[in-house]
Amino acid sequence: MAALKGRSLLSLADLTTDEMLHLLNTAARIKSGEINPQCPQKILGLVFKKASTRTRVSFTAAMYKLGGQVIDLNANLTQIGRGEPTADTARVLDRYLDVLAIRTYAQSEVEDFAHHGNIPIINALTDLEHPCQILADLLTVQEAFGSCKGLTMTYLGDGNNVAHSLILGCALVGMNVRIATPEGYEPDSDIVKKAEALAQGRSEVVVTHDAKAAVSGAHTLYTDVWASMGQEELAEKRIPIFEPYQINAATLAIADPQAIVLHCLPAHRGEEITAEVMEGAQSRIWDEVENRMHAQQALLAAVLGAV
């Protein structure tokens, strides 16, 4: 984990397989109480330009549990909201903070912060990726099955930022990943190629329009809302297009009998997932929510050199 000290996490592709597995195992040890890393007097800054519940609270709770402090830099109450150049903001925050988590629109913005500053920058969600969510997802799979290696993850829905990071994360840990989307909603082809390179033949990366084939025998079923933040005006139009990709009792019945169900939340019950499945015995959604905090504790501790 020493190799992660001082480094940014802008994409899961920034990690090696060993680093990813170390983060997952460290998170599991933190959750179990086996270890309790501390980062006293370290300060985490949050720059969130998009609404957030789980990411904001889990990062805050994680840093407090590490013995550090958090400054929530509301974009509307700082010069960020008035258009101060990213290069200037990055160099200012670099003098005050020890680590910065950014939730924004363009991937280029987190890249610019990392380029102009010296502190670790963590991608807390962009339109391209959501790496911290997938750390929690894979931790949840690991808890359920003991390991991710050789299992199959099926994602149903829009080929969005969550799907992108899921493809990369599964490739790193040797987990087969199937992405089933309607035509025209596939994940970015460059992300798929990058994941295939990361997989190194250890696992499969499949993009398909056939939901049933993608679900058949899968060990984990995953979904997200059909219209991401900023696409709300498209939500109604997308419902009939995405209906065949809903996770419901019939979907779950053709997966592996021990399959678990995940959702990054917030959920639109009755659209991408039914309430029955979400609250059912195979749902691990609330464990997944908790694991955001543990995974981010591990990540923060690693980049701050505490583990």
- Angle between helices 17-32 and 131-145 in degrees, nearest 10: 70
91 is in an annotated binding site: no
265 is in an annotated binding site: yes
Q: Is 122 exposed, middle or buried (0-12, 13-18, 19+ CB in 10 A)?
A: buried
264 is in an annotated binding site: yes
147 is in an annotated binding site: no
Identify the CA nearest to 204 among candidates 216, 196, 215: 196
224 is in an annotated binding site: yes
140 is in an annotated binding site: no
- % helix / strand / coil in the chain, to the nearest 5? 50, 15, 40
16 is in an annotated binding site: no
108 is in an annotated binding site: no
Q: Over the Cα atoms of the chain, what is R_g?
A: 19
Identify the CA nearest to 278 among candidates 221, 235, 206, 205: 221
Q: What is the token pair recorded at 246?
A: 């809903």
Q: What is the token pair recorded at 220?
A: 């984990």
C-alpha 288/C-alpha 139 separation (Å) is 8
283 is in an annotated binding site: no
Q: What is the token pair recorded at 208?
A: 């398909």
Q: Maximum Cα–Cα distance for the chain, whole Å? A: 54
132 is in an annotated binding site: yes
Helix (H, G, I), strand (E, B) or coil at 151: coil
Phi-psi region of 230 (alpha: psi -120 to 50; beta: other; left: phi over 0): left
54 is in an annotated binding site: yes
Q: Is the dihedral of CA 269, 179, 23, 284 positive or negative?
A: positive
Identify the CA nearest to 284 among candidates 126, 157, 145, 88: 145
178 is in an annotated binding site: no
Q: What is the token pair recorded at 149?
A: 């290696």
Residues belonging to the active site: 103, 130, 133, 224, 264, 292
Residue 251 phi/psi, 5-degree rounding, is -65, -50
Annotated binding site for carbamoyl phosphate: 52-55, 79, 103, 130-133, 264-265, 292
Which residues are documented as binding site?
A: 52-55, 79, 103, 130-133, 161, 224, 228-229, 264-265, 292
Binding residues for L-ornithine: 161, 224, 228-229
